[in-house]
A = this chain, B = another copy of it.
């Protein structure tokens, strides 16, 4: 049994154009084609797409996923590299959380100072004019 691209899409939750995009950037090798040159996917392709989707859900970028996919096909190698990629991504996520949290504090301060008057006395506008965050 094989899948058309639409079935693959429904099976994985990845949109049809995105599947083609993944093929284009080399995450997925070109599948076999029907006589009329339409893509036909095998269960292994579906598994690979699911892997990609889960990794994207976890925020890994395409380059990392490419590497993780390669590593996952070398079961005997040490998983150190997997660990490195994951930790690097984790610290990236933590850095972004920190940045956004600082922003949040600043924005909260601004909206809390708002007295709902006229623009000329608007504390939000003043905050942006005077200094700004980060």
Contacts and interface: CB of A to CB of B under 8 A. Distances in A.
Identical copies of this chain, number: 2
A35 interface: no
Interface residues of A, number: 56
Interface string A73-108: 011111110110011011001101100110110111
A93 B83 contact: no
A120 to B, nearest CB: 3
Contact of A90 (B96, B104, B121, B127): B104
Q: Helix, strand, loop or mixed for chain A's interface? A: helix
A125 B71 contact: yes
Contacts of A59: 100, 103, 133
Contact of A58 (B74, B82, B103, B125): B103
Given A93-B100, A94-B104, 16 more contacts: A47-B129, A50-B129, A54-B127, A54-B130, A58-B107, A58-B132, A59-B133, A76-B119, A78-B119, A79-B116, A82-B119, A82-B125, A83-B111, A90-B107, A93-B104, A97-B104
